[in-house]
């Protein structure tokens, strides 16, 4: 498979001032490696603060990594200048869609003008601009395009606005797109439409997509592979179906457990949930960062950091007890409720 | 009135006055709530679910009018009371509410415990010491150590602040608790913890709960019955197994369920074409008819009533008449 984006050991640290004298390091990303191919969507899931949005931003160089390398189609772009990023069209080829469809479109501009702007900035000829705007509106299923081009953002629903955002990202024909929680603020009835759209544009435009979400159920429909993050690190990654059907890492299992499903006979069953909340990334636990909340943590987990290993074909996990979990000699629910 | 019925709403209409005209946010809604029962009110943005909650609390904004209808609490018709009288007699003592986003509206310069204790001092006239003692009990009840009384909001995580807000709503020992999207800003892991707490509260305090949410899955997790709202109206009401069973009775419920991404199964989520109705000029006939795949002539002209299916299952659709 042709590779679009490759991240190798990417780190993003922030210095956080504490009082007058000291400062502390916040490790938002602590050594993340990831490859996204052409016509492939990778979902990154995790709780707030796990670093998933930082990962998305670093991958398109909206944020500068502290360490590690970023490759775009095999070429390293980690440290090339902003001017070069623009001149050599890297900026055009890498786009992002943000979460909030209400605050990310200029309310005083017509949709057609919103979409034409990036083309004008990139110096497209006038006659081509109109044709491209109409085409991209069709692509995101805002039709008739002539009509939508004349509308203002407030005349659109949340789902329609998010499709405008998608169109905005697509209009420059990117090869890589970061979609950061694109459906979390959309009503259920229109959410599915955005998800389906993400699938179809990936295929028709042969793009690589990084789909960032806290909602593991939506990840299933758009991604071939999935990476689960916890406190700045990938704890499990692999083919979406096998990660969701046979999760290895206890964090993934418990995350899946906390997702509610419509259940006609679910009446008030108590759920088995993860204890506590994610620890502060300013002061992460030693060893395995999940050990403070893990129901099956042993002594080793407190001291030694597990590494990401391949346990099944294209299914990786970073857990000292992975073997036992896979062969069934330890289960999560058998321990304390 | 049956002996266990605690709340009954009859033909309630609440309209907002806007420059465009009257927004019919709640338009002819009727339902009842039993003691110790949990009812989920499910709907998308603009379906009227929050307005319904605010009406029950008599906490509507100024441009809202309760046009008609009745709200009985423990048998008394409360809409005949003035807002002031209602607040004295019912607010927080009988019925209380956790507003959407309330966890972000805590006073940042007051200890959270003092905020929990406040109504005990000002509404019930307890001494500071007594109020503090009770507030600590409630902080413990919602799953936090007593000494969190002395913390400030910024020292707490989102999940903990949500627990504090729930403690505030419970401290006057109400019989009914309305929760409006109590978990929509929280991670699923924390959401699951809060939902477990709500389940415990229902069981341990014999609380009646109205759970307002856009999330059908979450609704099915905490409730005994579900009311599905669309365009200001309840379009389906029934027990979980009736509403979410294999053969959904209302086309909107069916489509809403089909739109959900799920962890298991092979169904690809579908979307509902079109958009929710304009509540200033709602479509004639059934409000869902412009988006309904089963629409026929009658739906376009005549508004269907709620048809009774088996026992307590009500469906507002001509297909079920």
* CB nearest B263 (choices: A187, A195, A220): A220
Q: In the numeric block, which tokens belong to residue A333? A: 């629910």
Q: How far is B305 from chain A (nearest CA, A)?
A: 24
- Name chain A contacts of B230, Cβ cutoff 8 Å: none
- Name chain B contacts of A193, Cβ cutoff 8 Å: 271
Q: How far is B88 from chain A (nearest CA, A)?
A: 33
Distance CA A71, CA A4 (A): 8
In chain B, residues 205-224 whose CB comes closer than 8 Å to chain A: 214-224
Q: How far is A234 from chain B (nearest CA, A)?
A: 18
Beta-carbon separation of B224 and A191 below 8 A: no
List of domains in chain B? 5-94+174-320 (3.40.50.300)
- Name chain A contacts of B225, Cβ cutoff 8 Å: none
pTM (global) more than 0.90? no
- Helix, strand, coil fractions of chain B, as percent rounded to 5: 35, 25, 40
Do A92 and A121 touch, CB atoms closer than 8 A?
no
Q: In the numeric block, which tokens belong to residue A31? A: 């050594």
In chain B, residues 132-171 whose CB comes closer than 8 Å to chain A: 157, 159-160
- Measured between CA atoms, the residue of chain B closest to residue A191 is B271
Supply the mean pLDDT for chain A: 92
**Dihedral of the alpha carbons of B124, B127, B132, B137, in degrees to the nearest 10:** -50
Q: Which of A189, A230, A240, A265 to mutate to test the interface with B (most CBs of B within 10 A)?
A: A189
Q: How far is B296 from chain A (nearest CA, A)?
A: 22
Per-residue pLDDT of B278-295, as tens digits, reads 999 999 999 999 999 999
Do B120 and B133 touch, CB atoms closer than 8 A?
no
- Measured between CA atoms, the residue of chain A closest to residue B230 is A189
* CB nearest B240 (choices: A47, A220, A267): A267
- Name chain B contacts of A261, Cβ cutoff 8 Å: 217, 220, 262-264
- Asked if the C-beta of B245 comes within 8 angstroms of chain A's C-beta atoms, the answer is yes
Per residue, the 3-state secondary structure of chain A, as one string, reads CCEEEEEEEEEEEEEEEECCCEEEEEEEEEEEEEEEECCEEEEEECCCCCCHHHHHHHHCCCCCCCEEEEEECCEECCCCCHHHHHHCCHHHHEEEECCCCCCCCCCCCCHHHHHHHHHHHCCCCHHHHHHHHHHHHHHCCCCCHHHHHCCCHHHCCHHHHHHHHHHHHHCCCCCEEEEECCCCCCCHHHHHHHHHHHHHHHHHHCCEEEEEECCHHHHHHHCCEEEEEECCEEEEEEEHHHHHHCCCCHHHHHHHHCCCCCCCCCCCCCCCCCCCCCCCCCCCCCCCCCCCCCCCCCHHHHHCCCCCEEEECCEEECCCCHHHHHCCCCCCCCCCC
Q: Which residues of A75-103 are buried (b: 16+ CB within 10 A; e: fewer)?
A: eebbebeeeebeeeebbbbbbbbbbbbee
Q: Which of A250, A264, A332 to mutate to test the interface with B (most CBs of B within 10 A)?
A: A264
| Residue B226, CA distances (Å) to A104, B80, B208, B234, B307 in order | 35, 28, 14, 10, 16
Supply the mean pLDDT for chain B: 93
- Name chain B contacts of A217, Cβ cutoff 8 Å: 260-263
- Name chain A contacts of B247, Cβ cutoff 8 Å: none
SS3 state at B260:
coil
What is the per-residue DSSP string for B172-228? T--SEEEEESTTTTS-HHHHHHHHHHHHHHHHHHT-EEEEEES-HHHHHHH-SEEEE
Beta-carbon separation of B224 and A256 below 8 A: no
Closest by CA position to A282, among listed A26, A10, A47: A26
DSSP state of B63: T
Beta-carbon separation of B269 and A254 below 8 A: no
- Name chain A contacts of B271, Cβ cutoff 8 Å: 189-193, 196
Q: Would you state the pLDDT for residue B37?
A: 94
Beta-carbon separation of B222 and A268 below 8 A: yes
- Measured between CA atoms, the residue of chain B closest to residue A270 is B196
Q: How far is B217 from chain A (nearest CA, A)?
A: 4
- Name chain B contacts of A157, Cβ cutoff 8 Å: 275-276
Spans of chain A, pLDDT less than 70: 266-268, 333-337
Do B212 and B178 touch, CB atoms closer than 8 A?
yes
Q: In the numeric block, which tokens belong to residue A109? A: 């501009």
CA neighbours closer than 13 Å in the CB half-sphere of residue A138: 7
Largest Cα–Cα separation, chain A: 68
- Measured between CA atoms, the residue of chain A closest to residue B46 is A187
Q: Which residues of B266-300 are buried (b: 16+ CB within 10 A; e: fewer)?
A: eeebbbbeebbbebeebbebbbbbebbeebeeebe
Q: Which residues contact B289 (CB under 8 A, 6 or more apart)?
A: B283, B295, B299, B300
**Interface residue ranges in chain A relative to chain B, Cβ cutoff 8 Å:** 47-48, 157-160, 187-193, 195-196, 214-218, 220-221, 244, 254-271, 273-274, 277
Beta-carbon separation of A264 and B240 below 8 A: yes
DSSP state of B52: H
Spans of chain B, pLDDT less than 50: 1
Q: How far is B42 from chain A (nearest CA, A)?
A: 11
Do A192 and B269 touch, CB atoms closer than 8 A?
yes
How, if at all, do strands B38-42 and B208-213 pair? parallel
Angle among Cα A49, A201, A195 to the nearest 5 degrees reads 50
Q: Would you state the pLDDT for residue A333?
A: 65
Q: Would you state the pLDDT for residue B101?
A: 87
Angle among Cα B253, B11, B15 to the nearest 5 degrees reads 85
Answer whether the bond into residue B134 is a cis peptide, omega within 30°.
Answer: no
Beta-carbon separation of B268 and A263 below 8 A: no
Tell me the residue ranges of DSSP E strands in chain B.
Answer: 5-18, 21-34, 38-42, 64-73, 76-77, 95-98, 176-180, 208-213, 225-230, 233-239, 307-308, 314-315
- Name chain B contacts of A160, Cβ cutoff 8 Å: 275
- Name chain B contacts of A184, Cβ cutoff 8 Å: none
SS3 state at B36:
coil
Per-residue pLDDT of B56-76, as tens digits, reads 999 999 999 999 999 999 999
Q: Which residues contact B307 (CB under 8 A, 6 or more apart)?
A: B314, B315, B316, B317, B320, B321
Residue A20 burial class via C-beta count within 10 angstroms: exposed 0-12, middle 13-18, buried 19 and up: exposed
- Asked if the C-beta of B185 comes within 8 angstroms of chain A's C-beta atoms, the answer is no
- Name chain B contacts of A189, Cβ cutoff 8 Å: 44, 255-256, 259, 271-272
Distance, CA of A169 to chain centre: 16
Residue B160 burial class via C-beta count within 10 angstroms: exposed 0-12, middle 13-18, buried 19 and up: buried
SS3 state at B272:
coil
Beta-carbon separation of B44 and A192 below 8 A: no
Per-residue pLDDT of A14-59, as tens digits, reads 998 877 778 889 999 999 999 999 999 999 999 988 999 999 999 9
């Amino acid at each position: 498979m042709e590779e679009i984006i490759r991240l190798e050991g990417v780190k993003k640290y922030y210095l956080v001032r504490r009082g007058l004298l000291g400062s502390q390091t916040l490790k938002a990303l602590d050594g993340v490696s990831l490859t996204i191919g052409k016509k492939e969507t990778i979902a990154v899931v995790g709780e707030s603060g796990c670093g998933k949005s930082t990962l998305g931003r670093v991958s398109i160089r909206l944020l500068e990594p502290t360490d590690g390398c970023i490759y775009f189609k095999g070429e390293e772009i980690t440290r090339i200048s902003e001017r070069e990023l623009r001149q050599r069209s890297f900026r055009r080829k890498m786009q992002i869609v943000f979460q909030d469809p209400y605050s990310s479109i200029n309310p005083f501009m017509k949709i057609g003008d919103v979409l034409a702007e990036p083309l004008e900035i990139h110096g497209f000829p006038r006659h081509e601009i109109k044709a491209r705007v109409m085409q991209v509106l069709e692509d995101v299923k805002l039709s008739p395009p002539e009509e939508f081009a004349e509308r203002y953002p407030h005349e659109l629903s949340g789902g329609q606005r998010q499709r405008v955002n998608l169109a905005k990202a697509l209009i420059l024909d990117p090869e890589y797109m970061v979609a950061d929680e694109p459906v979390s603020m959309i009503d259920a009835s229109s959410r599915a439409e955005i998800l389906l759209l993400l699938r179809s544009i990936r295929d028709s435009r042969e793009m690589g997509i990084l789909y960032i979400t806290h909602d593991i159920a939506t990840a299933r429909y758009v991604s071939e592979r999935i990476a689960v993050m916890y406190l700045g690190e990938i704890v499990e990654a692999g083919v979406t179906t096998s990660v969701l059907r046979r999760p290895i890492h206890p964090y993934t299992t418990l995350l899946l457990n906390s997702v509610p499903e419509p259940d006609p006979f679910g009446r008030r069953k108590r759920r088995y949930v993860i204890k506590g909340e994610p620890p502060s990334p300013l002061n992460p636990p030693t060893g395995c960062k999940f050990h403070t909340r893990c129901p099956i943590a042993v002594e080793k987990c407190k001291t030694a950091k597990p590494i990401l290993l391949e346990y099944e074909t294209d299914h990786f996990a970073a857990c000292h007890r992975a073997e036992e979990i896979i062969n069934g000699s330890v289960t999560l629910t058998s321990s304390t409720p | 009135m049956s002996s266990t019925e605690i709340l009954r709403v009859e033909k309630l209409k609440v309209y907002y006055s806007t420059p465009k005209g009257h927004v019919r946010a709640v338009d002819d809604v009727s339902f009842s709530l039993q003691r110790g029962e949990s009812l989920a009110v499910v709907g998308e943005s603009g379906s009227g679910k929050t307005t319904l909650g605010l009406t029950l609390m008599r906490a509507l904004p100024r441009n809202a009018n309760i046009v008609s209808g009745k709200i009985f609490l423990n048998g008394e018709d409360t809409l005949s009371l003035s807002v002031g009288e209602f607040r004295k007699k019912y607010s927080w003592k009988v019925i209380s509410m956790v507003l959407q986003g309330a966890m972000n509206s805590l006073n940042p310069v007051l200890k959270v415990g003092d905020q929990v204790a406040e109504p005990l001092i000002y509404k019930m006239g307890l001494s500071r010491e007594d109020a503090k003692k009770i507030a600590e009990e409630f902080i413990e009840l919602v799953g936090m150590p007593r000494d969190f009384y002395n913390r400030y909001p910024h020292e707490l995580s989102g999940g903990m602040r949500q627990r504090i807000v729930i403690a505030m709503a419970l401290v006057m020992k109400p019989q009914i608790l309305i929760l409006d999207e109590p978990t929509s800003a929280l991670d699923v892991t924390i959401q699951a913890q809060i939902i477990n707490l709500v389940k415990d509260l229902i069981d341990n305090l014999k609380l009646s709960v109205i759970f307002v949410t856009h999330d059908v899955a979450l609704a099915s997790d905490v409730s005994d019955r579900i009311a599905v709202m669309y365009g200001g109206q309840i379009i389906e009401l029934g027990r979980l197994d009736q509403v979410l069973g294999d053969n959904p009775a209302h086309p909107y419920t069916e489509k809403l369920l089909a739109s959900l991404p799920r962890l298991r199964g092979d169904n690809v989520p579908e979307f509902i074409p079109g958009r929710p109705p304009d509540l200033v000029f709602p479509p004639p006939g059934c409000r869902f008819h412009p988006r309904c795949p089963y629409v026929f002539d009658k739906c376009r002209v005549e508004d269907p009533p709620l048809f009774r299916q088996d026992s307590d299952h009500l469906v507002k659709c001509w297909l079920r008449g």
